[in-house]
């Protein structure tokens, strides 16, 4: 292919960021993908989605783009197994949690070494919930594996702050109207 441009693609190791469609021979690239023209060193950043990419020259990325990506809110509804509406999407920094019962679950996002340092605040109203990590991940909350048998009980009317401190671990603490507590997950 004479005159064809070559690109290097960089992602943050999330499987959902770059996808190859075998039927159409098309590649889709989600928010945050960086591509670089191999011969010219020009870089482009996708500030859109996989379905509607918006490619910007790296010099055109604004504070607003970066801030929007880092400060994003999710509405989460706790479920029996912590799946579907109970999953906290990657990249969210705040979640409003709705729970119909303290036995319902919410699941933290998948993590790796590249996401260390992220913080997620979760606020819940009248009913608490159980916080877990993705199934079979081996991820820990307050140094206890919380991907199956164990879960962190979160009190009603509280704010839970979770900070990713390692490739497989979170430290979480609860802030209620008059107390701040750190609780280890258990298997109740």
Q: Minimal CA–CA distance to 92: which of 34, 139, 162, 154?
A: 162
Asked if 85 and 65 count as a contact pair (C-beta separation under 8 A), the reply is: no
Q: What is the pLDDT of residues 110-125, one digit of tens each?
A: 999 988 999 999 999 9
**171 pLDDT above the threshold of 90:** yes
Contact (CB, 8 A) for 175 and 159? yes
Q: What's the mean pLDDT when you consider all of the chain?
A: 79
Is it true that domain 71-181 has CATH number 2.160.20? no
Read off the pLDDT of residues 138-167 as tens digits, 9 standing for 90 and up.
Answer: 999 999 999 988 999 999 999 999 999 999
If you ran DSSP here, which 8-state letter would residue 97 be given? E
**Residue range 72-98: average pLDDT?**
93
Would you kindly state where each structural domain of the chain is located, as residue ranges? Answer: 7-68, 71-181
Q: Is the CB of residue 132 less than 8 Å from the CB of residue 105?
A: yes
For the cut 50, the answer to whether the pLDDT of residue 66 exceeds it is: no
Q: Determine contact, residues 183/174, Cβ cutoff 8 Å.
A: yes
pTM, two decimal places: 0.63
Q: What is the mean pLDDT of residues 122-132?
A: 95
């Amino acid at each position: 292919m004479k005159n064809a441009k070559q690109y290097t693609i960089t992602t943050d190791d999330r499987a959902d960021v770059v996808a190859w469609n075998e039927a159409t021979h098309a590649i889709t690239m989600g928010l945050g993908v960086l591509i670089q023209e191999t011969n010219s060193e020009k870089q482009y950043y996708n500030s859109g989605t996989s379905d509607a990419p918006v490619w910007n020259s790296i010099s055109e990325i604004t504070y607003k783009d970066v801030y929007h990506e880092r400060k994003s809110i999710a509405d989460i509804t706790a479920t029996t197994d912590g799946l579907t509406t109970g999953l906290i999407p990657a990249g969210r920094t705040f979640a409003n949690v709705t729970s119909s019962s303290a036995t319902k679950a919410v699941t933290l996002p998948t993590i790796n070494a590249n996401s260390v340092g992220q913080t997620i605040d979760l606020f819940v109203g009248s009913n608490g919930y159980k916080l877990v990590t993705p199934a079979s991940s081996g991820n820990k909350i307050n140094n206890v594996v919380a991907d199956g048998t164990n879960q962190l009980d979160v009190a009603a009317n509280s704010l839970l702050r979770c900070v990713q401190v390692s490739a497989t671990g979170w430290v979480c603490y609860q802030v209620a109207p008059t107390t701040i507590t750190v609780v280890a997950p258990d298997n109740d």
